[in-house]
Amino acid sequence: MDFLNKTVVVTGGANGIGRCIAQEFLEKGANVAVVDVVESKLSHEKLFQYTGDITEENVLKEFTRLVLEKFKSVDYLINNACMSRKGILTGCGFDDFNYVLKLGITAPYMLSLLFKDHFNRGASIVNISSTRAFMSQPDTESYTAAKGGISALTHSLSVSLAGRVRVNSISPGWIDTGAFQDSDNYLPQLTNEDISQHPAGRIGHPMDIAKMVLYLCSEDAGFITGQNITIDGGMSKQMIYHGDQGWILEK
């Protein structure tokens, strides 16, 4: 996959999955523009960093302006940024709920709009959704709603931008992002149970997501658009009943 001198925009690229994605594109020779509320530890001559909150329209417009001023056009937009402010059981209120929606849905839409006329031929948008878009734990409404929204936005954009930009999403499951956070001495604290509940036999790594992002942006994926790719080690496909394989429901 050849990404030499391609231009990539990654939201939430300072830490976690976004940082891994940005790092992989840089290693492949791409120009990378990262926007996040904190500055990344990444350092590279082809990296442009902008610190700001993309729930604010002026930040989105200023970031877009600076990216185009520096790189002139864009090849790939990776809408990764999102967070949780929990849900109905802990009283997630109007402002908190809407903040997550602005971060997880409005910002990806607006960046797609702002870059729409500046995408190069063969361009691709990859939205980072989540298995939370179609399965839940209690008290996760803000994040779940945002991920459900970005999944729907994906297929809508793929039709609107047909023939110009391919648009897909990835739904990660349990991804251990510790090695791509602030700590330089991260040691996983995983149990045998954590691992064995995944049919793949391990927890996910940010590289599992980054590799799929690069594939979906490549010419090899030229016939793929409007799709969601679930990367969760098979966890969402495993049916669980009380008493099955040692699983016990406690309430």
Res 45: pLDDT: 96
Res 247: pLDDT: 80
For β-strands 7-11 and 31-36, DSSP reports them as parallel
Res 68: pLDDT: 98
Cβ neighbourhood burial of 38 (10 Å; 0-12, 13-18, 19+): exposed
pLDDT in tens, 180-199: 887 677 888 888 888 988 99
Res 238: pLDDT: 87
Are the C-beta atoms of residues 27 and 44 closer than 8 Å to each other? Answer: no
* Parts of the chain with a pLDDT under 70: 183
* pTM as predicted: 0.95
Res 162: pLDDT: 98
**What fold characterizes domain 7-246?**
Rossmann fold (3.40.50)
| Residue 186 a catalytic site member | no
Phi-psi group of 118: left, alpha or beta (phi > 0 → left; psi -120 to 50 → alpha; rest → beta): alpha
Res 54: pLDDT: 98
**Active-site hit among 76, 143, 215, 241:** 143
Contacts of 212 (CB under 8 A, 6+ apart): 170, 229, 231
